[in-house]
Amino acid sequence: MRYSLLSTIALSALLAAPALAQGVPQGASPVTGARPGNVVGTGMSLPLGNRASNINQYNTHSRIAPNLPSPQLAPNASAADFLRAADDALRAGRTGEAQQALEMAQTRLLSRSVPQGQTNNPSGNPAVAQISQALQALAAGRRMQTIQLIDAAIPLANARR
């Protein structure tokens, strides 16, 4: 009798566990949903990486994009600041940091107001297009071309302040 009661309790706990963790990946915190190694609110998540990747289908080696190092800039840094940081990182061989800085520069330029109903229209900002080309060159491993594209994007980003 005692063993059947323990077995029933154990079986009930096993059946209830998936219901309690519904929507939370296995191993993740049930409170925050963060996977092990991911500290919510700190910008730290796994996997970490320091090489440019997951830009396009040619340099994507995993479905999970790595957390790339961010350039050491103030939170209110401009797109041009991020472009200069990308240039410095790329010249130093830090492709992951260069990618992160390019993406942050592009995000700064894409933060804009648009009329209602036109939210799906792509940006006409030439600096955004230039950064997209730089990211594609980075994905292809064309370092010098990427540097040239970044250098050409800086004045365009400055013009949009």
Are 34 and 104 found together in one domain? no
Number of domains making up the chain: 2
Q: Which domain holds residue 6?
A: 1-44
71, 85 in Cβ contact below 8 A? yes
| Domain identity same for 34 and 89 | no
Rounded alpha-carbon distances, angstroms, from residue 2 to 5, 6, 7, 10: 5, 6, 9, 12
For residues 85 and 20, state if they share a domain.
Answer: no
49 inside domain: no
pLDDT at residue 18, as a whole number: 46
Residue 115, pLDDT > 70, answer: yes
Same domain, 155 and 98: yes
Residues 96 and 140 in one domain: yes
Q: What is the pTM of this model?
A: 0.67
Residue 42's pLDDT band (cuts 50, 70, 90): low
Statement to judge: residues 153 and 84 lie in one domain: yes
Measured distance CA(109)–CA(27) in Å, rounded: 37
Asked if the model's pLDDT at residue 14 lies above 90, the reply is no
Q: Would residue 88 count as lying in a domain? A: yes
Band (35; pLDDT cuts 50, 70, 90) = low
Q: Are residues 84 and 132 located together in one domain of the fold? A: yes
Question: 20 and 87, same structural domain?
Answer: no
